Amino acid sequence: MSMSAVRASVIVVSRHRPRQLAQCLGALTAQTHPAIEVVLVADPGSVGICPDLPVKRVAFDRPNISQARNLGIAQAAGDVVLFIDDDALAEPDWAAQMTASFADARVIAAAGFTRGPDGLGWQVQAERITPSGRAFPIEVSGPCLLGPENGNPVSTLGTNCAFRRASLLAIGGFDPAFAYHLDESDVNMRLAACFPQGLTAVVPQAEVIHGLAPGTSRAAPGVPHDLSAIGRSTAIFAARHGGDVEWLHQAQKRRLLRLMVAGRLDPLAVNKVLSTLERGLTDAPAQPPDPPVWGDATMPDFLHFPTLARESLFLSGWHWQRRALRARAAQAVAAGQRVVVLLMTPSLLPHRLILTDGGWWEQRGGAWGRSRPGDSPVLRYRLRDRIRREARYFAATR
């Protein structure tokens, strides 16, 4: 069977973020993989969102990401299970690229590359996770299959990862002891122990844009106000896998100080937030709980999610032409096309990419501003050449 015919289940967990969730589901309709289903695990107020889409829907309203993911796995009928956050947007080839990596029978997991809230710069590329719960980057030159190294498996970020369903069931799925943070890393460690010869695929072409929407531990995008869950999860993780937590306090303090220097965190809040980290470390059980055991895992029916093979349209112009360009974009989206609009100002402003409520992608920035990782702060392009540069990029990714 070709991997294009392999059934894949995309699990989306959401809690009180209906606007981001609607955009996430909308982006999934543009996937190129022909055999996906979507399983939505969400609070009662959001679980019925986008009623026109055939989605498996599970109502769940507890602040425990692992429990929610396990409910999704129980409904998944795909041989491959993919995860994406509700504040993330998948590029059209995301599911196809992830699923293709499982053509090798040794592959038990896959990790894609994740862009940050601006839609262009990298948030996470390839990493390994240590028994202490500390991630560190690794260099990869392209798609590759990697096993654990010195006890450190490849890390799979929860907003952009995939697993062979049978492998997840074999280890009992996610552990509810990790209500938030290190939940997927614990899965990585337990998979490595259960399947010593198993490999994780690193798939740079499987891209998502992660928005970092506010949540229960973040008052604003990327700004924490409560680190207790991180402390508790790290303590459990280190005790279970033979690591330590000595590094955690300094690492989180550096993070908070960077936010303070950037003007995003009140200086008087730094110690207050750090105290929640210590509370979480103290609240962790002295002995880590046993990993979960999966019960009866009968395969449910597959619910095909409609994806559209769409023609692409690239529109560009100055920001003062935005009304006309957006009107053309709206017409093209209504006609079933996938649209990117490039709006530029005569400036050095860095670019930002968003998915609009109208359903088209919109990139905004200066005609000489950077738009890709590694760009210099000033790009010396004539307007025509700059438009060609951006059009070539979108032709390759969308």
Q: What percent of the chain has pLDDT over 70?
A: 94
Q: Pick the closest to residue 326 from 304, 311, 343 (CA basis).
A: 343
- How far apart are the C-alpha atoms of 140 and 79, rounded to whole Å? 27
pLDDT at 63 over 80: yes
Q: What is the mean pLDDT of residues 93-119?
A: 95
Which of 213, 245, 261 terminates a domain? The answer is 213
Query: How many residues are listed for the chain in this entry?
Result: 398
CA distance 92 to 134: 31
Half-sphere exposure of 67 (CA within 13 A, CB side): 12
| Domain-terminating residue out of 178, 213, 248 | 213
Count of domains forming the chain: 3
pLDDT of 159 above 90: yes
Q: For the residues 287-305, what does the mean pLDDT come to?
A: 86
Specify the pTM. Answer: 0.90
Per-residue pLDDT tens for 189-200?
Answer: 999 999 999 999
Torsion angle (degrees, nearest 10) of CA 97, 190, 168, 209: -40
- Answer yes or no: do 197 and 239 share one domain: no
Final residue of a structural domain among 169, 192, 213: 213
pLDDT at 12 over 80: yes
Per-residue confidence (pLDDT) for residue 272, from 0 to 100: 94
Say if residue 196 is in the same domain as residue 227: no
Concatenated DSSP letters of 52-108: TS--EEEE--SS-HHHHHHHHHHH--SSEEEEEETTEEE-TTHHHHHHHGGGSTTEE
Same domain? For 255 and 178 the reply is no
Q: Is residue 298 part of a domain?
A: no
In a domain, 296, yes or no: no
Summarised one tens digit per residue, pLDDT across range 299-325 is 899 999 987 666 889 999 999 999 999
* Dist. CA 90–CA 236, nearest whole Å: 31
pLDDT of residue 212: 60
- The whole domain housing 343 covers 312-397
Q: Is residue 163 very low, low, confident or very high in pLDDT (cuts 50, 70, 90)?
A: very high
Are 115 and 171 in a shared domain?
yes
Are 243 and 139 found together in one domain?
A: no
Residue 302 lies in a domain: no
236 and 170 in a common domain: no
Angle, in degrees to the nearest 10, between helices 248-261 and 228-241: 150
Tens-place pLDDT, residues 329-349: 999 998 888 899 999 999 999
Same domain, 382 and 318: yes
Residue 199 lies in a domain: yes
Q: Do 61 and 117 have their domain in common?
A: yes
State pLDDT tens for residues 111-140: 999 999 888 889 999 999 999 999 999 999
Q: Which residue bears the tokens 């979960």?
A: 292
**In this structure, are 277 and 328 located in the same domain?**
no
List Cα–Cα distances, 39 to 59, 65, 75, 84, 305, in angstroms: 11, 14, 7, 11, 10
Residue 375 lies in a domain: yes
For residue 395, is pLDDT > 80? Answer: no
In CATH, what number is assigned to the domain containing residue 113?
3.90.550.10
pLDDT at 220: 58
Q: Residue 214: what pLDDT?
A: 53
Confidence of residue 213 (pLDDT cuts 50, 70, 90): low
Instruction: Give a yes or no: residue 290 inside a domain.
Output: no
pLDDT, mean over the chain: 92
**Cα–Cα distance, 177 to 395 (Å, whole number):** 43
Residue 222 amino acid letter: G
The verdict on residue 18 lying in a domain is yes
pLDDT tens-digit series, residues 29-38: 989 899 999 9
Do residues 121 and 203 both lie within one domain?
A: yes
Whether residue 235 sits in one domain with residue 330: no
Q: What is the mean pLDDT of residues 249-274?
A: 93
- Mean pLDDT throughout 86-110? 95
Decide if 154 contacts 187 (C-beta within 8 A): no
Which pLDDT band, with edges at 50, 70 and 90, does 1 fall under? very low
Please give the pLDDT value at position 271. 94
Q: Is the pLDDT at 3 greater than 90, yes or no?
A: no
- Which pLDDT score is estimated for 357? 86
Q: Is residue 301 part of a domain?
A: no
Beta carbons of 192 and 77 less than 8 angstroms apart: no
Q: Are residues 138 and 35 in the same domain?
A: yes
Q: Name all contacts of 363-369 with Cβ < 8 Å and 24+ positions apart.
A: 363/119, 363/120, 363/390, 364/319
